[in-house]
Amino acid sequence: MKEIKLFTIKETSCYGEEPTTTSCCAPETINESTCCSSPEVTVEKPEQKQFNLDLPVAIIGAGPVGLAAAAHLTIQKVPFIVFESGENVGHNILKWQHVQLFSPWQYDIDKAARQLLEETDWESPQDNILPTGKELVDQYLVPLSTLPVLKEAIRYNSKVISISRQQNDKMKSLHREKQPFEIYVERNHEIEIVEARAIIDATGTWGNPNPSTSN
């Protein structure tokens, strides 16, 4: 009869020792510092720097709200740029220029804008009079827009067609908040890309009406 030999395979620890309750390979003692655990790997991510704070704030629309925002930024000494799709300030207002506003002048003129205008020879309208759309443009928006600090920052016939974050798209958003805005502006049938630190949308609803069934 052929002799059958039985062999016993002895488990050993990481260092060739028999496992015990205190062995480094014992399940109840395995932790991050034991020889059987996987080494801890630390991946250092490249530091993302904040975008240039000297970039301007972009204001879209040179109507009452857009120019008021420009006036506030002027007083706070924050650089800005204004994009107006029309040929002049208050472009949409002039489409209903014959209509009288329901608010008198005292509620139509922004405080910061008034502060800048009163430093010139501008004559303030009477507070209790209801202006028409044309009067609002001629007596308020035009004088405000011709102030040197605003005049040099307004770009007419400049239509904003798209806004995104630099080096970001629908599939990439890591550190999105640290990237400047990229504004695609159409002017004279050419596309220009302008960087900005923030955006103020003052386009209003006249050229972008809500659906008739919306609230």
pTM of the complete model beyond 0.75: no
The reported pLDDT for the residue numbered 43 is 44
Band the pLDDT of 29: cuts 50, 70, 90.
very low
With the CA atoms of 133, 139, 141 and 147 taken in that order, what torsion angle do they form, in degrees rounded to the nearest 10? 170
Instruction: Record the tokens describing residue 92, joined without a space.
Output: 């949409």
Q: Where are the alpha helices (DSSP H) in 14-104?
A: 64-75
Which of 3-12, 24-33, 49-58, 78-87 holds the top average pLDDT? Answer: 78-87
Domain boundaries, the chain: 57-160
Q: Is pLDDT above 50 for 25? A: no
The reported pLDDT for the residue numbered 70 is 97
Average pLDDT over residues 203-207: 84
Average pLDDT over residues 123-138: 96
Residues 52-106 have pLDDT tens digits of 678 999 999 999 999 999 999 999 999 999 999 999 999 999 999 999 999 999 9
Q: Identify the residue whose tokens are 């720097």.
A: 49
Band the pLDDT of 165: cuts 50, 70, 90.
confident
57-160: CATH number: 3.50.50.60
The reported pLDDT for the residue numbered 62 is 97
The reported pLDDT for the residue numbered 15 is 46
Distance of CA 139 to CAs 72, 104, 134, 135, 183, Å? 19, 13, 8, 6, 31
User: Are 160 and 83 within 8 A, CB to CB?
Assistant: yes
Q: Is pLDDT above 50 for 8? A: no
- Report percent pLDDT > 70 for the chain: 69
Three-state secondary structure call for residue 79: coil
Lowest mean pLDDT among 61-70, 112-121, 203-212: 203-212
With the CA atoms of 199, 202, 204 and 207 taken in that order, what torsion angle do they form, in degrees rounded to the nearest 10? -70
Q: Is pLDDT above 80 for 119? A: yes
- Report percent pLDDT > 90 for the chain: 60
